[in-house]
A and B are shown apart, each in its own frame.
Chain A
Amino acid sequence: MRKRHVLPGFGLSLGYTLVYMGLIVLIPMSALCLRTFAGSWGHFWQTITDPRVLASFQVSFGLSLLAALLNGVFGVMAAWVLARYHFPGRRILDAMVDLPFALPTAVAGIALTAIYAPNEWIGGLLEPYGIRIAFTRLGIFIALTFIGFPFVVRTVQPVILQLSAELEEAAACLGASRWQTFRRVIFPALLPSILTGVTLAYGRAVGEFGSVVFIAGNIPYETEITPLLIITKLEQYDYPGAAALGFLMLCVSLVILIISNGLQAWNNSRNGTV
């Protein structure tokens, strides 16, 4: 027997959704997988264990993690300030958080290079002390921090806004100091959203290309990121090699997505929202 729904059009809309998702998401992904395994396992293995590729993994995954962790600290602080205090210019600051979202990544890359290159403002200031930012791993780290920042702020901010003042009052009535209230009551309530934000920032940073290539200098073994290697391989007509790297990054993205969803489910179960 057919189940009757209150809302009409379930079959039709589901059909369209499936076709759409198939065309936009699934088919390209499966094509990538097919491409990867069209070649031999030997080639796949050889590609992903090439020392230059391994070095790029270290750069991409390592620096992305560091950048995401830094954002975990300062993003939470920014979210707290924006959610809790009212001061002149707050709305402008709040809008500015989204800039890394909205900016074409190539623009971000040029902008960062323009101030951190050795003969520019900040780069020039640090050069005499032997600190180089552009064309080093530090530069990549800064670019990845830049693009990951809004992810943490925008995941944590609504949770801070939702925290009821009663919780803090209750803690104060029970004798907690401001610091104890933060550490024992507020921080644990924010933790799932912080982890979610950091995971999202990490996922974004791993795949980031546009803002990094300008400031990175792309020195093999030193400042070469995995997405750049994919491009390089494509330019050398090494399609199976590019697909192999792409497949690997796809797997990492999937894992990050699963972790992120798991964290959100954990968050919801603890805060009673479904």
Chain B
Amino acid sequence: MTTTETGTPGTSADPSPLRPRIRQPGLGAGRAIGLLNGGFLLFWGLITTLPLVWAILSSFKTNGEFRTDPMGFPDGLEGDNFARAWNAANIGQYFMNSVIVVTMSLTMTMLFGAMGAYVLARYDFPGNRLVYYSFLGGLVLPVFLALVPMFFVVRNTGSLPVIGGLLGLNSYLSLALVYVAFSMPFTVFFLAAFFRTLPTSVAEAGIVDGCSHFSLFFRVMLPMAKPGIISLALFNLLGHWNQYVLPLVIMQDDDKRVLAQGLGTLAATTGFRADWTALFAGLVIALMPVLIVYILFQRQVQAGLTAGILK
């Protein structure tokens, strides 16, 4: 089986061959294979972490240290890198932009997604399947096909009467709405499956108690769907926070850029400005929220992301 021999990409120095030992399983061989297994696992662990550790270490160096000894440890902790990244390189502004956009987009995605999914999952009405499948279709359509017309849709909403001022290009609300639209297919699909599994008896009890449709949703069904909502909210949070191409198209003003986008631009100009350590400081600033969410909700994040493709 080729699997065991594939090794790891990017390494010319592959450890000793695996196959001969596997052919003769004995006690000693078992131990050797065990060690080899451990070696492979550790190796991939290092491949995964080292580039990131290197970036974090670099964020604490001076530019001089970075130039002369890129692989070494920093002599001291150069806090000024973070100040330069936050202020001079505008990472602070980008960070706030990301927070604003993602707060709006996540709230709307979860609320509207849950509303749509609930109605589609639990109410019969003409056109139910049509709406459901048009959401589902969005799962396989490539984002890039929509990119060009979406740009014009967003631009044109800027000239709408009354609300035009809030929309258009370079608007937080526009970008948030675009995120909501692109998150709808998966959110509706996932939550509809979740709402379908909720027991009908509880809904009926609510009806007996005189709940309206609205209070049944907000006071009974939504709280019951909490586990599904949480894992999906984490999924969308990461997706929105990490988004790169959509803001690139919509947020063209420098002071409206979101974090991933601003970081990309910063990386492109870092060589000219000879300020590598500020770039890595910015990178660490961008990394931190994701790292914190991941560490705090590690189990839910893994479950949420993998459940998506198994459902």
Bound pair (A, B): no
Residues of chain B touching chain A, judged by Cβ–Cβ distance below 8 Å, are none
